[in-house]
Amino acid sequence: MANVSLNAVRKNYDETLHKDTLRNINLDIKEGEFIVFVGPSGCGKSTLLRMIAGLEDITSGELKIGDSYMNDVPPVERNVGMVFQSYALYPHMDLRENMSFGLKLKKMDAATIKKRVDNASDILGLDPLLERKPKELSGGQRQRVAIGRCIVQQPNVFLFDEPLSNLDAALRVKMRIEIAKLHKELQSTIIYVTHDQVEAMTLADKIVVLSPLDEGADSNLEQFGSPLDLYHNPDNKFVAGFIGSPKMNFVDATLVEINAKDCVVELITGERVTAAVDANRAKVGDAVQLGIRPEHLVESEHEHAQSKVTGIVQVTEHLGSESFVYMDVKGCDFTFKARPEFPAEAGDQLTVGIPTNACYLFDENELAFQRTAKYNRGA
């Protein structure tokens, strides 16, 4: 097990194009932490993981694993184990042979190999399957073998690149829970890449949110923090929009009143909303954006409906356990996560409440103002 630290790491695949893929990535990953890299497709998650593994050069900056400088150390000497999305197992070998193969290459003695494979297969529940060939396994079982092949190496750091994205939805949930259990059992440092923010929220001790690098931006590391920290206190609009499902609602607005612990904004749709944020670094008249999560909107008679907006219902989805109401508020899209069987039909006029404590607010540069409250609508 080991710490991993990245200092001002940059990646440029082709210096002649002057276009970086990753810039100014600073991370301090502690021994035993489960870290998830999340971000839209193409933002550089795999690149960053592959640089840690040693499969990709680091253009500039510094990578340390434990206390050792790793930039120029070949992959096999880094003692990291990697599991990919496609779990290329050897088709002609049974599971035991698949898991033993890497250790045999390292000329490890047979008794140690057996012990390690038995231990991994015990952890992963593969014991009854050890004599089978990969083609006799389900997708989830094959992915477990790929993880087992990694565990037997006893790496200092586990690197997972979207390991569940080839599995169907039900199996993904099951494997997600197994990976969480595995981390508890092994207590090892895990760095895990996904574009699925639910996987990120449920697995991570800390999440790294990456965005596609804007030319001219100082960095494309948007935020590094615990899942709930990102949910309640996103640093900027990108993180606010990426974490949470369905996505946060955003409305353009203007600051009309600034107090010590809250402020009032006038939405582009005309309504005034009181938001529990400290906007003292801005001034009245500044353009801002209000953010409100679908699960924080309330019915208009709710005790927390301190501000209200009215719109026209476009579509209602009844999912049994909850309903999603998609509304048009004078040209702005609003999603309202409502109670089961909430009565709202396309064309209805609907007023929803915006609790003061549930508001997020972003400045012209899409940076968040500090929130002064946290909100939970309750059941």
Long-range contacts of 212-219, Cβ-Cβ distance < 8 Å, separation of 24 or more: 212/39, 212/40, 212/42, 212/43, 212/44, 213/20, 213/21, 213/22, 213/23, 213/43, 213/44, 215/19, 217/23, 218/23, 218/24, 219/23, 219/24, 219/25, 219/26
Q: Phi and psi at residue 113, in whole multiples of 5°?
A: -60, -45
Position 13 contacts ligand ADP (CB under 6 A): yes
Which residues inside 47-66 make contact with ligand ADP, applying CB under 6 A? 47
C-alpha span between 379 and 376 (Å, rounded): 9
**Options 46-54, 68-76, 119-127, 256-264: segment touching Mg ion (CB under 5 A):** 46-54
Decide: 223 and 209 in contact? Cβ < 8 Å: yes
Closest residue to bound Mg ion by CB: 46
Candidates 7, 8, 28, 42; binder of ligand ADP (CB under 6 A) is 42
Amino acid at 343: P
Q: How many CB atoms lie within 10 A of CB 322?
A: 15
Closest among 278, 202, 214 to 243, alpha carbons compared: 202
Quick check: 44 binds ligand ADP (CB under 6 A)?
yes
- Kindly state whether residue 43 participates in binding ligand ADP, applying the rule CB under 6 A: yes
- Is 307 a residue that touches Mg ion (CB under 5 A)? no
Residue with tokens 């253009």: 59
Judged by CB, which is closer to Mg ion: 46, or 223? 46
Q: Is 23 in the site for ligand ADP (CB under 6 A)?
A: no
- Does position 45 interact with ligand ADP (CB under 6 A)? The reply is yes
Select the span of 26-34, 41-49, 114-122, 232-240 touching ligand ADP (CB under 6 A).
41-49
Q: Select the residue interacting with Mg ion from 46, 153, 289, 316 (CB under 5 A).
A: 46
Q: Rank residues 42 and 340 by Cβ distance to ligand ADP and give the closer one.
A: 42
Q: How far is the CB of 282 from Mg ion (least distance, A)?
A: 37
Please tell me whether residue 194 binds Mg ion under the rule CB under 5 A: no
Residues that bind Mg ion (CB under 5 A): 46
